[in-house]
């Protein structure tokens, strides 16, 4: 096994020097008491959209689940390997989070793949193709809308994928039960990488509204 890349080693040194040494008590508390996050964020693997940075979260504040295109498959208790479902179960059943946030983003490569795959058959042994097939029905609807530009198709499907994941979340019985009891809330947001804007989904309509930036005194 080779040594870590130098960039990671220097990054770790910076983490210890500029962060950890100033937060030792907090990290010790996390080690002693465990994690108690109130929020689960389902985000994309994309290196440009980092939930902890977007929401300025400290260690222990949010539980993050990341996969390609921030997708949630429907509940499927077939005793296979389901990483996303396992993380959902851990966050909801054991950590008892109060909020689940599906965080999508602009320029998503997974969504772009789904749009391209509408014109050809998916390869059954292709992991990405099989995973993104979850979005193909929605992608076909978007592609068939000739009024949309290529960029508008991309953004539309990125936001539809969030709605799709929120719908699938409710197929998990223990998520649906907690939501109906009012002890678990589901949210959808979309992050624009280039502008830094965050758009929040209205549950009633599925439309996205830009989150206003508060004025701060300089």
What order do you get walking across the sheet with 208-210 strand by strand?
A: 62-67, 39-44, 99-105, 185-191, 198-201, 208-210
- State whether the Cα torsion 20-87-34-184 is positive or negative: positive
Question: Do residue 15 and residue 101 come from a single domain?
Answer: no
Residues 109 and 46: beta-carbon distance below 8 Å: yes
Q: Are residues 3 and 63 in the same domain?
A: no
Considering the domain architecture, whether residues 70 and 86 belong to the same structural domain is answered as yes
**Domain span at 21:** 1-34
Are residues 135 and 44 both part of a single domain?
Answer: yes
What pLDDT does residue 123 have? Answer: 52
Q: Give me the mean pLDDT over the 50-66 stretch.
A: 98
Point out the annotated binding site for Zn(2+). 44, 46, 105, 108
Task: Dihedral sign for Cα 77, 83, 88, 94, please.
Answer: positive
Q: For residue 180, is it within any domain?
A: yes
Q: For residues 17 and 51, state if they share a domain.
A: no
Write down the residue that tokens 């997708």 correspond to. Answer: 71
pLDDT surpassing 60 at residue 121: no
| pTM of this structure | 0.93
pLDDT tens for each residue of 77-120:
888 889 999 999 999 999 999 999 999 999 999 999 888 866 56
Count of domains for the chain: 2
The predicted-structure confidence for 125-175, as pLDDT tens digits, reads as follows 688 888 988 998 899 999 999 999 999 999 999 999 999 999 999 999 999
| Alpha carbon distance 170, 92 (integer Å) | 12
Q: For 25-55, how does the pLDDT look when each residue is reduced to its tens digit (9 = 90+)? A: 999 999 999 999 999 999 999 999 999 999 9
CATH number, domain of 53, equals 3.40.1050.10
Query: Which pLDDT score is estimated for 203?
Result: 87
Annotated binding site: 44, 46, 105, 108
């Amino acid at each position: 096994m080779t040594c870590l890349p130098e960039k990671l080693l220097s990054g770790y040194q910076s983490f210890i020097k500029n962060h950890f040494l100033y937060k030792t008590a907090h990290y010790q508390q996390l080690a002693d008491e465990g994690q108690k996050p109130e929020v689960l964020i389902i985000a994309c693997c994309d290196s440009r959209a980092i939930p902890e940075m977007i929401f300025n979260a400290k260690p222990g504040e949010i539980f993050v689940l990341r996969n390609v295109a921030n997708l949630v498959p429907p509940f499927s208790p077939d005793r296979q390997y389901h990483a996303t479902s396992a993380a959902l179960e851990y966050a909801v059943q054991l950590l008892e989070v109060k909020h689940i946030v599906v965080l999508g983003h602009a320029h998503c490569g997974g969504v772009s793949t789904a749009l391209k795959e509408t014109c050809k058959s998916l390869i059954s042994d292709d992991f990405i193709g099989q995973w993104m097939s979850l979005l193909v029905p929605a992608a076909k609807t978007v592609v068939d809308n000739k009024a949309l530009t290529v960029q508008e198709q991309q953004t539309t499907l990125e936001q539809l994928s969030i709605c799709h994941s929120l719908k699938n979340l409710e197929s998990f019985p223990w998520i649906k039960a907690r939501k109906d009891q009012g002890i678990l809330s589901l949210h959808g947001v979309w992050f624009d990488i280039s502008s830094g804007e965050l758009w929040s989904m209205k549950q009633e309509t599925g439309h996205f509204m830009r989150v206003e930036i508060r004025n701060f005194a300089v």
